[in-house]
Amino acid sequence: MLSQDFDLDGKIQVPLGFNLTILYLLRAYVFWAISLTYSEDRSFILSLFYPDHSLFVITLLIGLPAMVTFFFLV
């Protein structure tokens, strides 16, 4: 391995593409966190991105393995 693959603490750096893929899989969690900051109507922001409630739930379930992976790598 090259020295550029490690950070200053000696840990292997996770590639940017992998982080973007994890963020894409966690998009439902990101939109859910954004909707929590909108105090007037929290379901309004979620309904913009997920008009059907079941789509939101399915996306949360798809993002669950990505969430576990994210916490293992942080």
What digits encode the pLDDT tens for the residues 4-50? 778 788 788 888 898 888 888 889 998 898 888 887 888 888 888 88
Is the pTM for the entire model greater than 0.85?
no
DSSP at 4: G
Beta bridge partners of 6: 12
Q: Are 26 and 63 in contact (CB under 8 A)?
A: yes
